[in-house]
Amino acid sequence: MVRVSIRSPSGATVDDQLVYIFADESCLGNQFKETARPGAAAGLIEQFSERTGWRRRDFAHFEADTTNNRMAIVSGIEGLRALRRPCKVVFTSDSQYLVNGMKDWVHGWAARGWRRKGGPIENVELWKRLCCQAAQHEVEWRWVRGHDGHPKNEYANELAIRTATERRGIKPKSIESNFGTWIEDEQDRGQFLEFLDMPDTRLFQPARKAPTGSN
């Protein structure tokens, strides 16, 4: 793809090389420890260019028995796995477990041979898989407060809940997104009326390269 720098109505430069992923997770029946807890990881992948406008895809992964934390990590794995080439990615999630893990914790764990002083690392194999996916890209990990009026996070949340409820993910890796129709329907109901479907103009601040290795 040829890089094109455009300007938003506010005059800020927009980089059409950036890919944005908004992801969320769901786990049904978290309060029941003796039964299977179906869950899902899902989200929206989007990229903006002056020539084509928004290009959007949805992804969703289902597991029959899981946890919120596992699905948060899987949302990163599946979202990045859906990309066909190395990209500059802004990954937004309401999971502090995921965002803090990728910005900070994994580097210390990897330096200590994937161990920590307090005992085994929870979900270590998933963290390793996510690091392998993230290492193929430049990734900025952003945290957003859940259920706080962020429409793309809310869309990802609804997609994750629906996937867990219907017990069916998306195959192949992603499909054309329904976000445009969803946001129109929400605004018709009086929600997200201040939302403007414009590209993000904030400075891209990628995290350190994710560590790799299986030790």
CA atoms within 13 A on the CB side of 120: 4
Whole-prediction pTM:
0.90
Asked if residue 75 is part of any domain, the answer here is yes
CATH of the domain at 134: 3.30.420.10
Q: How distant, in Å, are the alpha carbons of 1, 31, 123 from that of 139?
A: 18, 33, 21
| Nearest in space to 90 (alpha carbons), one of 180, 211, 206 | 206
Q: How distant, in Å, are the alpha carbons of 48, 199, 206 from that of 18?
A: 8, 10, 11
Q: Which residues form the domain of 62?
A: 5-188
Asked if residue 201 is part of any domain, the answer here is no
Asked if residue 159 is part of any domain, the answer here is yes
pLDDT 10s digit of each residue in the chain, 215 long?
333 333 344 445 567 789 999 999 999 976 556 678 999 999 999 999 888 899 999 999 999 999 999 999 999 999 999 999 999 999 999 999 999 999 999 999 999 999 988 889 999 999 999 999 999 999 999 999 988 889 999 999 999 999 999 999 988 889 999 999 999 999 999 999 999 999 888 999 999 999 986 65
Asked if residue 195 is part of any domain, the answer here is no
| SS3 state of residue 7 | strand
Asked if residue 196 is part of any domain, the answer here is no
Asked if residue 207 is part of any domain, the answer here is no
Determine whether 136 is exposed, middle or buried from the number of CB atoms within 10 Å of its CB (0-12, 13-18, 19+). middle
| SS3 state of residue 151 | helix
Asked if residue 209 is part of any domain, the answer here is no
Q: How far apart are CA 138 and CA 140, in angstroms?
A: 7
Write the pLDDT tens digit of every residue in 81-118: 999 999 999 999 999 999 999 999 999 999 999 998 88
Asked if residue 214 is part of any domain, the answer here is no
Task: Give the total number of structural domains in the chain.
Answer: 1
